[in-house]
Amino acid sequence: MPIENPSDIRLNERREIEAIIGNPPGWTLRWGILVLLLGFALLLVFSHFIKYPDVVLAPVVLTTEHPPIRVTAKADAKINLLKVTNGKQVGKGELLVVLDNPAKMEDVLQLQEFLHQLEENSLSVLPNIAPPDRLELGSLQGSYARFIQSLQDLKYFLGQDINYQKISNLHSQIAEIQRLNHSLERQEAILREEVGLARQNMERDSTLLARNSLSRLEFEQSQTAYLQKRRELESLRSGATQNELRIQQIRGQILELEQNQSDNRSERNLAFQAELKQLQGEITLWKEHWLITAPIDGEVALTKAWSEQQYVKEGEEVLTIVPVKAAGPIIAKALLPDRGAGKVREGMGVHIRLDGFPYQEYGVLNGSVKYLAPVPGEQGYEAGIEVPGDLITSYGKNILFRQEMMGTARIVTKDKSLLSRLLNKIISALKN
């Protein structure tokens, strides 16, 4: 009879399985669990002692303390004048290349020298200075025209100052009044003597009148003469006082005119100086834009510019200046990516694989992190790596140094066990 109850079916299947494999003995199960636990414990112990570091990869370039300087064009233009050849020794600031532009270089330099002379001289000689004319200045022409206008305004003011003429006339008036006062002083001295004589005459007549030796009329005449001289003396003194007041008034007018003159001169001079500085600044920009000069003393290495009339693009490398003085120690500069940069510390070991020297054949350059930039740049943190000066690789091979050799830096960070790595992942998964 077939079994239809599901529980009876499962019980029957269990009995059939036990009949095939039999009941496992208890010691086998216990020993199996013990072996598994011991194996897991040994695995944890080994994972604690097995350690290896993380490696931070970064592009690296080998250079020196005084590296060559690449000089680029600041504009799209043809080379109008190439003043150097390959391998020529040049000094800092020396003119190397002139790019084609609407202005004439000689005229711009002549104008720059003229502006320098203006700065060295005082305003008193300005009316005698003539600016250069018929200059081909290209984009500088507008600024030059405004500068010439301000210069002419200042020169006209200094040469035809109306206030100056007024001040001169007022000084002449003061001198004339002072001469008149000197004359009045002499007249006053004489008049004082006359007053004294008139007083003596009046006093004598008064004595005679008291003795009845002189008539009243004669006494009054001498008294009137004395008073007349007194009145003339007071009038003379009053005129001198008025003259002094007039001098003070004129001096006040002179002071006001001088203040106006100073304000007008300062206003025009400031406008002139502003146009002068503006033009000097535009000349500097013009030179930076169209003239290529040597940034340092060194030897010229032509890269793109080989002949005149050759076309160069803005930002394109034209030539390189190799410094004359000793290049200094070899320095490896790496750009650490943001990810992993926090693991890098000064003194950590570095293995450098040079692109031009396959590491499987030549080995690697061993070095150490010398410094870390405190702030990141546009492409990451800069790290300085100290490398052996003779460039001996791990295979004992000597690498011939060339400027700006590229490679990959493998920075060896702190050792970390397998167990700590596993725990970090578990903790990170639980918390994050």
Summarised one tens digit per residue, pLDDT across range 82-125 is 888 888 888 888 888 888 888 888 999 998 898 888 877 766 66
pLDDT at residue 318, rounded to an integer:
84
Lowest mean pLDDT among 148-162, 219-233, 416-430: 416-430
92 vs 296: CA distance, rounded Å: 4
Range of 210-214, 226-230, 280-284 with top mean pLDDT: 280-284
> Do residues 87 and 233 both lie within one domain?
no
pLDDT, averaged across the chain = 78
Per-residue pLDDT, 23: 54
Please name which of 429, 405, 403 lies closest in space to residue 64, comparing C-alpha atoms.
Answer: 403
Residue 375 pLDDT level (bands cut at 50, 70, 90): confident
For residues 215 and 334, membership in a common domain is answered with no
Is 49 part of any domain? no
Q: How high is the pLDDT of residue 86?
A: 84
For residue 222, count other CB atoms closer than 10 A to its CB. 21
In a domain, 218, yes or no: yes
With respect to residue 168, please indicate whether it lies within any of the assigned structural domains: yes
Are 127 and 84 found together in one domain? no
Task: Report residue 119 as tokens.
Answer: 């700065």
- What's the pLDDT at 328? 66
Counting the structural domains of the chain, the total is: 3
7 within domain boundaries: no
pLDDT at 283 over 60: yes
CA–CA separation, 58 and 381 (whole Å) = 10
Task: Judge if 316 and 338 occupy the same domain.
Answer: no
Question: Between 409 and 215, whose confidence is greater?
Answer: 409
List the structure tokens of 127. Answer: 């009316």
Residue 342 pLDDT greater than 80, yes or no: no
Q: Is the dihedral of CA 244, 249, 253, 256 positive or negative?
A: positive
Same domain, yes or no: 208 and 166: yes
Average pLDDT over residues 15-19: 55
Query: Are 282 and 317 in a shared domain?
Result: no
Pair 363, 253 in one domain: no
The CA–CA distances, whole Å, from 71 to 304, 319, 346 equal 10, 5, 33
Residues 123 and 223 in one domain: yes
Is pTM beyond 0.85 here? no
Residue for token pair 């293995």? 351
Across 9-23, 268-282, 406-420, the highest mean pLDDT is recorded for 268-282
Measured between alpha carbons, how far is residue 157 from residues 152, 257, 265, 390 in Å?
8, 14, 7, 72
Q: Are residues 89 and 161 in the same domain?
A: no
Alpha helices by DSSP H, 50-161: 105-120, 141-159
| CATH code for the domain of 154 | 1.10.287
Q: Is the distance from CB of 191 to CB of 229 less than 8 angstroms?
A: yes
Give the dihedral sign, CA 169/172/178/183.
negative
Q: How many C-beta atoms surround the C-beta of residue 391 within 10 A?
A: 18
Same domain, 111 and 218: yes
Model confidence band, residue 76 (pLDDT cutoffs 50, 70, 90): confident
Contacts of 405 (CB under 8 A, 6+ apart): 61, 62, 354, 355, 356
Q: Give the mean model confidence (pLDDT) for residues 140-166.
A: 80
Q: Within a domain: residue 48?
A: no
Judged against a pLDDT cut of 50, whether residue 1 lies above it is answered with no
Rounded CA separation 27/62 (Å): 68
Query: Could you read off the pLDDT of 22-46 as tens digits, one per residue?
Result: 555 556 666 777 777 777 777 766 6
Q: Kind and range of the H or E element at 233?
A: helix 216-290
- Give pairs for 277-280: CB < 8 Å, separation 24+: 278/143, 278/146, 278/147, 279/111, 279/115, 279/140, 279/143, 279/144, 279/147, 280/112, 280/115
Q: How far apart are the first and last CA of the chain?
A: 61
pLDDT at residue 285 in the model: 92
Residue 18 lies in a domain: no
Can you give the residue range of the structural domain that contains 257? 101-289
CATH number of 425's domain: 2.40.30.170
- Cα separation, 52 vs 153, whole angstroms: 81
Calculate what percentage of the chain has a pLDDT beyond 90. 2
Would 222 be classed as within a structural domain?
A: yes
Token pair in block for residue 423: 């725990």
**Do 313 and 350 sit in the same domain of this protein?**
no
Confidence check: pLDDT of 7 > 60? no
Residue range 219-243: mean pLDDT, rounded: 79
Q: Is the pLDDT of residue 80 over 80?
A: yes
DSSP assignment of 387-412: --TT-B-TTSPBPPP-TTEEEEEEEE
Q: What is the pLDDT of residue 419?
A: 60
In Å, the largest CA–CA distance within the chain is: 200
The answer to whether residue 41 sits within a structural domain is no
pLDDT higher than threshold 70 for residue 301: yes
Quick one: average pLDDT of 220-241? 79
- Specify the residue for token string 């299947």: 13
| 256-266 per-position pLDDT tens digit | 777 777 777 77
Q: Would you place residue 18 in the very low, low, confident or very high pLDDT band (cuts 50, 70, 90)?
A: low
Domain shared by 211 and 359, yes or no? no
